Structure 1
Amino acid sequence: MAARIPVSEVPLFPLNTVLYPGGQLQLRIFEPRYLDLVRECTRTGSAFGVCLILEGAEAGAPALPAAVGTLARIIDFHNREDGLLGIATEGGERFRVLRTRVRSDGLLRGEVQVWPDEVTQQVPVEFALLQTILERLVETMGPHWRHAPRDLYDDAGWLGFRLAELLPLAGDEQQQLLEMTDPIHRLATLRDILPRFQKA
């Protein structure tokens, strides 16, 4: 009998972007509910959930989040030039939202089931072009990955998630790639998308 995946409750931060496992996300915090979220996570060392917005906006009334998101852990914070709080986060495990509730201050909390990490798989030789494309994208768009160990490019999961975050994909495409559980299938999907970005 398969082990039951534990359920936990986390604060949710709906955004107009997708955070992938291992990815980095810079956030500007100004709403009181999210300042409380940062205080809570900093005090307890806990994570919060980042979900793509399906309906609504990042500020104001609580937005409708996608059912699958990624846990974010705060790795740094600073005061920005505009006087607002800036935080740097790193993506951890993916999760599925089972149910949500809205606190009186408008902060969304979700009962979530965390997904196990993907099994590491070697990049098949037919996807070698994707490794080259990622190297070029990192040079121009992802300088924080410039010093990533070379063997990460051989990890199908890491390669797929980094391409998904650096390519100019629509939100629903980003979400579809996040929800895939087979890293080789994710690479195949990305390979099929690539011709759209080739110059005529």
Structure 2
Amino acid sequence: MTAALPLFPLGTVLFPGLVLPLHIFEDRYRELVRDLIALPADEAREFGVIAIRSGWEVEHATPGGEPAAAPTPGSAPSLYDVGCSAVVRQVTEHPDGRFDIVTVGRRRFRVLDVDTTSAAYLNAEVEWLDEEPGEPGLADAIAPGVLAVFQRYLRMMRGDALPVGEQLPDDPNVLSHLVAATTTLTLDERQQLLALPDTASRLRTERSLLNREVTLLDQIRAVPANLSELATPSAPN
């Protein structure tokens, strides 16, 4: 099934179920937000977040903003082909026309074609990607191990136990998206996880990535401190 979807290119990867706040200041994306607000109340205010490979000042295309340098009319950056739609949950309009919006990732899509001329912002023809579990029973079998190493990773990153009352999802698909979004990974690694065809494949890849990150954190903690940092004044005899 294909659909038309306005695109918001960013230097980040959005996953289903994750919150993405954005500060909208560039004219083309102000227009996008106004068009979304104008939709009927019973229609989802949904647009596509797609990561940028290159072009449009990737280093400035991050949550909280947009590409800092406007492209020439009719041009498009080099985009990855799989993204995630975002649904607008909250809109705050400022007197100067800027917007602060809060969005939530909804569903994955693959870009089939990009229209650079019909609006100030990009529009695309996309196909929606189903959330397949993968081999029967495999995701359920892998998830507890991924959850265990993810909890260890979080404790190492925070330097203490997980906050009391904090719960991590036990649903394999939800867990796979949370791990992908919150683990320290490169843009390419996050994009690879988003594009994987099923939950089991994503969890299996995340297990490998988390084990790598935990090993690196263990090595960092094992590095001896400089002798100067350990020096203390000599005690009198």
User: Fold conserved (TM > 0.5)?
Assistant: yes
Q: How far off its partner does 1:122 sit? A: 7.7
Mapped to 2, the partners of 1:160 and 1:105 lie a distance apart of 35
Query: 2:107 is paired with a residue of what secondary structure?
Result: strand
Q: CA–CA distance in 1 between the matches of 2:199 and 2:132?
A: 8
Moved more, 38-47 or 184-193: 38-47
After TM superposition, give the deviation of residue 41 of structure 1 in Å: 1.5
Q: Find the residue that maps to 1:93 and give its secondary structure.
A: strand
| Alpha-carbon distance, 1:96 to partner | 0.9
- TM-score with structure 2 setting the length: 0.69
Distance change >3 Å, CA 65–CA 72, structure 1 → 2: same
Paired with 1:125 and 1:114, the residues of 2 have a C-alpha distance of 27
User: Residue type matched to 1:118 in 2?
Assistant: E
Question: 1:105-124 residue pairs with structure 2 within 5 A?
Answer: 106-119=120-133, 123-124=139-140
1:166 aligns with 2:182: yes
Relative to total residues, which structure has the larger strand share, 1 or 2? 1
- Structure 2 residue identity aligned to 1:86: D
Query: 1:26 aligned to 2:21?
Result: yes
Q: Alignment partner of 2:110: what SS? A: strand
Distance 1:181-1:197 versus aligned 2 partners, 3 A rule: same
Which whole-Å CA distance do the structure 2 matches of 1:147 and 1:37 have between them? 36
1:92 maps to: 106
User: What percent identity do the matched residue pairs reach?
Assistant: 34
**The structure with more radius of gyration:** 2
Per the normalisation by structure 1, the TM-score is 0.81
What is the CA deviation profile of residues 95-148 of structure 1, one whole-angstrom value per residue up to 9, with x for unaligned ones? 1111101137641110111122334968534542422344564995xx9xx766
Aligned to 1:182: 198
| Aligned alpha-carbon RMSD (Å) | 2.9
Unmatched tracts of structure 2, length 5 or more: 62-66, 220-237
Deviations 1:143-190 (A, max 9, x none): 9xx766x6xx22211111100000111111111100112211111111
Q: Quote how far apart the aligned CAs of 1:88 are.
A: 0.8
Query: Is the Cα contact below 8 Å between 1:8 and 1:112 reproduced in 2?
Result: yes
- Unmatched runs of 5 consecutive residues or more in structure 1: none
2:147 to 131, 141, 148: 131
